[in-house]
Chains A and B, each alone.
Chain A
Amino acid sequence: MKEYQTITEISGPLVYAEVDEAIGYDEIVEIETAQGDTLRGQVLESSEGLVAIQVFEGTSGIDQNASVRFLGETMKMPVTEDLLGRVLDGSGRPIDGGPEIVPDERQDIVGAAINPYSREYPEEFIETGVSAIDGMNTLVRGQKLPIFSSSGQPHSELAMQIARQASVPEEEESGDGEGSEFAVIFGAMGITQEEANEFMQDFERTGALERSVVFMNLADDPAVERTVTPRMVLTTAEYLAFEKDYHVLVILTDMTNYCEALREIGAAREEVPGRRGYPGYMYTDLAQLYERAGRIEGREGSVTQIPILTMPGDDDTHPIPDLTGYITEGQIYVDPDLNSQGLQPPVNVLPSLSRLMDDGIGEGLTREDHGDVSDQMYAAYAEGEDLRDLVNIVGREALSERDNKYLDFADAFETEFVDQGFDQNRDLEETLEIGWDLLSMLPKEELNRVDEEFIETYYREDDSERKIVEAAD
């Protein structure tokens, strides 16, 4: 390994150095400053005689006398089952004061693409205990389902609730309750110390930490490091899932900070920017993260991803949510209006979607009427929402009896179905029964998306048959 003292230019997070040997693209670099600090970086561009290096910890303290060492390999993550229960920094070094990590293997953090032919289609229902998700936007093992939120919203509470409650019901019945729990890998990118503390306290309070791995890149940690953190997280997840048979739930927060870091590097390299200054390859870059969710044929485990992103200006056409939505298998919207009404969780189901829902629900998987109930509630809630605008203009009295029923439905849907509290864990049966209690507020003939057979079985002919929701007045 050669050392160079040939830095020619330092600009933002980038360092350019002259070399006299071939340096591979993406190779890892160590830079030792005059003060004796060792900083790590990665080769971004390699040409004969000159390389561009992106320094994870930031370039402050580097001068032209700093020495540069090329390690001759791309970035690796040391992986082992013993990582469970550990807290690491954004570059994968332990910060919990525990023992050194003795890796079983060191894996390249730029994961290779999973061969689509080797994938197994995800269709195992995950019960999150959250009605708005289980009932309306069902999550399945191996799915990537982001939470679209904005600043100041309780997306972390929702993510923690899911992490706490998520289980796969069938396995509980078959007796090996242990196997149905998820290993949670938590990747924090640029979140504040306070947010991080909340997560950590929740993990410790519920004892979830022992089945978790936590990666912390905090708001005051170097931004460039954020481009590595999710890759470390996902490499660990893949190892635990596909080699150690765990079902892994990955929570990444906040993807917006990750994308900002990408933009920063792009700008420093003077690249031609795409929309709103984000690099043109952001779609590909994000896809390389999100597509690492899934199941593989012949392997036990699975990687399920719940990335969280805060939409700047609550605008889902912003490049970050927009590109994310095109890659992920649906999205869950956290809505500021519903939040200010006090709904917990404030999930707006209308724009939310789970693309893998249809294959994960129904007879033999969840319950036969699940799909119909969900469709009907969507349609009815959408109609009630529309009518609310009209009420503002003409008043409730001017509307027909039918319209009034839809308005009542929409209100009850929010207060009874969605607003369950962050601490309540509802099983699917309960969620669907609430659904039927609510649908029975509408006349039978209006339920045109539900099979007649199910109406026969579940429709409450009068209020006394309601199972869960008390009839109003």
Chain B
Amino acid sequence: MSKAESTETTDNGVIQSVSGPVVSARDLDARMNDVVYVGDEGLMGEVIEIEGNVTTIQVYEETSGVGPGEPVENTGEPLSVDLGPGMLDAIYDGVQRPLDVLEGKMDSPYLDRGVDAPGIDLEEEWGFEPTVDEGDEVGRGDVVGVVEETVTIDHKVMVPPDALEADETAEVVAIESGSFDVTETVAELSNGVEVTMRQEWPVREARPTVEKRTPRQPLVSGQRILDGLFPIAKGGTAAIPGPFGSGKTVTQHQLAKYADADIIVYVGCGERGNEMTEVIEDFPELEDPANGNPLMARTSLIANTSNMPVAARESCIYTGITIAEYYRDMGYDVALMADSTSRWAEAMREISSRLEEMPGEEGYPAYLAARLAQFYERAGYFENINGTEGSVSAIGAVSPPGGDFSEPVTQNTLRIVKTFWALDADLAERRHFPSINWNESYSLYKDQLDPWFQEEVAEDWPDKRQWAVDVLDEETELQEIVQLVGKDALPEDQQLTLEVARYLREAYLQQNAFHPVDTYCPPEKTYLMLTTIETFNDEAFAALEAGVPVEEIIDIDAAPKINRIGVQEDYEEYVADLKAEITEELRSLY
């Protein structure tokens, strides 16, 4: 929503009281969720409560110095985002104001108040290529042309979903290729609708689709523990809860860098400023693993850092998912990362407490569960209204206080999401990264994604995964005994199991996000690594059976090389050699 381009204001009110981000006004003629401009400086806000003559507004900017008696103007429109070419390679705040443009307008590195800018550049011209001819019939959502938005992404210009009824079609009466800005008409329809490259959409409302389908393709992330043990589907939902310092943000960044989605929407919600700066500095230089283009060419960033106004933190999640849905409508697979949904929930709590609403669990509003569910339900694998298929995958970090997963945000999230990556402070302390706990995490997409992995990687993918899970489970049980009596008191076969499990943990589950090669591990490599450890396992147990003492088996020179597979670029050759070496060395023992 941008003031620069907004509708005329309708009815004015007067501020009655100010308390932090919550302002109440009287005599304002407004509907719920209307956007209003507050005070002499015109700070942007949203109507969140109406009681008799008094309207309560949450303000998206700092309210210092704003006092009673100042005017409030209503725009008569709900909080909306501008959708059109130019959203990729952009960085926005929580209400879609482009931060790079704001820096120029404010002429200061600090965020000033009352300055506004449209979400997409209204003057920039784009080369439009029609994909339909004059005389063609089009329905709502249909693509009429494309624009090369970035080197990676063709932006499809669609008939707005609200331009026609569901089954209605209209004839294209005028369309031509050429250079246009986003406000100019690129196609005219017989019912008088003029299609531009820019659409507006209210953020709190999901964009329409035909139906939600069962997702059957994995969102391949290049992270071994995720792809290998706990995969997420394209169109799936996942939660990453963990205490501070356990690696939520690094995991989110890794997904944003390497997930095989077409578009990434990264929402930094109430998190650190420097983390967003890192993304802004790193992404343009990193290569998209799919095509070698800069990563920013497929990324849209929304940054509402922890010190930016709390109300805009509440809205940034909606801004993000609406942008994601828009690209989904073009038939793209979109992945949305929200870091962190706890900060979003806390923003709701803060506003709720200023409204003096009756609190639910731990002071969170009673509607917390409903809001979380609404957000995650906007993700999914969809048939779009124009007949294409697209997906929005939603991955939310959760920051439970004290790392206690029984708190309301984690619990309400777990009731909705189907993938759970539990981060563990203990693992992080011993620098086991990614510190995802393999005993607590789960993915309910495993079974429906197996056919894809069997087809694309290896027929026995599910069996190998199960083998790894079994070994790790057994290790957990054995560790309890080891804690009591020491490792040497265990029978030899169990000592060997512990050794195998150690390689699973150190070579397979650990992955160095800062190593140029290890940071991205294709599914083939993930698979080969697992089969190498299994080779060691099988040969080692055969040797043990043949009477070789366990110390000698563990001590072979080849085994520690398993830990180096991750950093090999030519992994296929390395793995083949290593398997042969392990087999040879172990067989020479008996």
A-to-B contact residues, CB < 8 Å: 21-27, 44-48, 73-74, 108, 110-122, 142-143, 242, 271-275, 280-281, 283-284, 287-288, 290-292, 294, 296-299, 316-319, 322-323, 325-327, 329-331, 350-351, 353, 355-356, 358-359, 371, 375, 378-379, 382-383, 389-390, 393-394, 398-400, 403, 445, 448-449
- Contact yes or no, A327 B272, CB < 8 A: yes
A106 to chain B, nearest CB (A): 15
A284 engages B273 (CB within 8 Å): no
The minimal Cβ–Cβ distance linking B84 to chain A, given in whole angstroms, is 21
- In contact, A287 and B307 (Cβ under 8 angstroms): yes
Q: Are B356 and A272 in contact (CB under 8 A)?
A: yes
- CB 8 Å contact bits of B60-83 with A (1 = contact, 0 = none): 001111111110000000000000
Given pairs A46-B19, A294-B274, A383-B430, 5 additional interface contacts (CB within 8 A):
A46-B17, A114-B111, A117-B103, A281-B310, A350-B429
The residue among B102, B362, B430 with the most chain A CB atoms within 10 A of its own CB is: B430
**9-residue interface stretch from B191-199, B288-296, B398-406, B456-464:** B398-406
Asked if B563 lies at the interface with its beta carbon under 8 angstroms from chain A, I say yes
Min distance, Cβ A329 to any Cβ of chain B, angstroms: 7
Instruction: Point out the residues of chain A lying under 8 angstroms from B278, CB to CB.
Output: 121, 359
Contact, CB under 8 Å: B274 / A47: no
Residue of A nearest to B110 (CB): A112
Q: 1/0 contact trace for B450-480 toward A, CB 8 Å?
A: 0000000000000000000000000000000
Partner of A330, one of B20, B245, B307: B245
Known: A272-B363, A283-B346. A113 touches B111 (CB 8 A): yes
B47 beta carbon closer than 8 Å to chain A: no
The 5 closest A-B pairs by CB, nearest first: A317-B402, A47-B17, A287-B306, A118-B109, A382-B430
Report the separation of the CA atoms of residues A399 and B485 in the bound assembly, to the nearest whole angstrom.
10
Cβ < 8 Å to A, chain B residues 267-312: 268, 270, 272-274, 276-278, 280-281, 303, 305-308, 310
Closest A residue by C-beta to B69: A22
Contact B19 A45, beta carbon cutoff 8 Å: yes
Distance in angstroms from B481 CB to nearest chain A CB is: 11
- Docked CA distance A112–B108 (Å): 10
Distance to closest chain A CB from B80 (angstroms): 23
User: Is B483 in the interface zone, CB < 8 Å from A?
Assistant: yes
B359 at the interface (CB under 8 A from A): yes
Cβ–Cβ contact B307 & A299, under 8 A: no
| A contact residues around B429 at 8 Å (CB) | 350-351, 378, 382
- Distance in Å from the Cβ of B96 to the closest Cβ of chain A? 14
Query: CA separation between A122 and B274, bound complex, in Å?
Result: 8
Report B107-124 CB contacts with A as 1/0, cut-off 8 Å: 001111100000000000
**A355 neighbours in B (Cβ, 8 Å):** 245
The interface centre, meaning the residue of B243, B402, B514 with most chain A CB atoms within 10 A of its CB, is: B402
Give the shortest distance, in Å, between A186 (CB) and chain B (any CB): 22
Closest A residue to B102 by beta carbon equals A115
Question: Which residues between 317 and 351 of chain B lie within 8 Å of chain A, taking CB atoms?
Answer: 343, 346, 349-350
- 5 cross-chain CB contacts under 8 A: A46-B68, A114-B111, A296-B109, A325-B243, A331-B244
A283→B306 contact, CB < 8 A: yes
Q: Do the beta carbons of A74 and B64 come within 8 Å of each other?
A: yes
In contact, B244 and A325 (Cβ under 8 angstroms): yes
Q: Does B18 contact A (CB under 8 A)?
A: yes
B245 engages A398 (CB within 8 Å): no
For the complex formed, measure the closest distance between the CB of B261 and the CB atoms of chain A, giving whole angstroms: 23
Decide if B486 touches A399 in the complex (CB within 8 Å): yes
CB distance from B420 to the nearest CB of A (A): 20
- Inter-chain CA distance A116–B306, complex, in Å, is 11
Q: Using CB atoms and an 8 Å cutoff, list the residues of chain B in contact with chain A.
A: 16-20, 24, 62-70, 91, 99-100, 102-103, 106, 109-113, 243-245, 268, 270, 272-274, 276-278, 280-281, 303, 305-308, 310, 343, 346, 349-350, 353, 356, 359, 362-363, 399, 401-404, 425, 428-432, 482-489, 506, 514, 560, 563
Report chain A residues within 8 Å CB of B428.
Answer: 353
CB-CB < 8 A to A325: which residues of B?
243-245
Q: Judging by beta carbons under 8 Å apart, are B64 and A274 in contact?
A: no
How far is A280 from B310 in the complex, measured between Cα atoms in Å? 12
* Chain B: CB-nearest residue to A327: B306
**How distant is B132 from chain A, measured CB to nearest CB, in Å?**
38
Contact present for B112 and A291 (CB under 8 Å):
no
* B-chain residues with CB within 8 Å of residue A400 when the two chains form the complex: 487-488
Residue contact A448 to B399, C-beta cutoff 8 Å? no
Partner of B20, one of A116, A281, A331, A375: A281
With a cutoff of 8 Å between Cβ atoms, the chain B residues found around residue A108 in the complex are 64
Q: Which one, B268, B273, B432, B486, contacts A114 given CB within 8 A?
A: B273
- Chain B residue nearest to A21 (CB atoms) is B69
Contact assessment for B356 and A116 in the assembled complex, using a CB-CB cutoff below 8 Å: no
CA distance A358 to B560 in the complex (A): 25
Evaluate contact between A331 and B245: CB separation under 8 angstroms.
Answer: yes
Question: A residues within 8 A CB of B245?
Answer: 325, 330-331, 351, 353, 355
Across the interface, do B64 and A26 meet the contact criterion of CB distance under 8 Å?
yes
Residues of B within 8 A of A117 (CB): 91, 99-100, 102-103, 277, 280, 303
Given contacts A46-B18, A448-B560, contact A281 B350 (CB under 8 A): yes
Given contacts A291-B272, A382-B429, contact A23 B68 (CB under 8 A): yes
**Contact: A280 with B431, CB < 8 Å?**
no
Which one, A116, A330, A449, contacts B99 given CB within 8 A? A116
Name the CB-closest residue of B to A444.
B560
A113/B307 in contact, CB under 8 A: yes
B401 and chain A: residue at smallest CB distance: A322
- Min Cβ gap A301→B in Å is 12
Q: Which of A27, A45, A284, A323 contacts B350 (CB 8 A)?
A: A284
Q: Is the CB of A112 within 8 A of B20?
A: no
**Alpha-carbon separation in the docked complex, A143 to B399 (Å):** 21
Residues of the B chain whose Cβ atoms lie less than 8 Å from the Cβ of A274? 349, 353, 362-363
Q: Tell which of B67, B244, B486 touches A322, judged by Cβ atoms closer than 8 Å.
A: B244
Given contacts A24-B64, A46-B67, A297-B109, contact A119 B273 (CB under 8 A): yes
Set of chain A residues within 8 Å of B244, measured between Cβ atoms: 322, 325-326, 331
Report yes or no: B277 in contact with A120, Cβ–Cβ below 8 A. Answer: yes
Pairwise interchain contact B67-A110, C-beta atoms closer than 8 A:
no
**Roughly how many angstroms separate A73 CA and B67 CA in the complex, as a whole number?**
12
Q: A25-B18, A27-B65, A120-B277 are in contact. Are A273 and B272 (CB under 8 A)?
A: no
| A116 x B401 contact (CB < 8 A) | no
Contacts of B67 in A (CB 8 A): 22-25, 27, 46
When chains A and B are docked, how far (Å) is the Cα of A40 from the Cα of B431?
Answer: 50
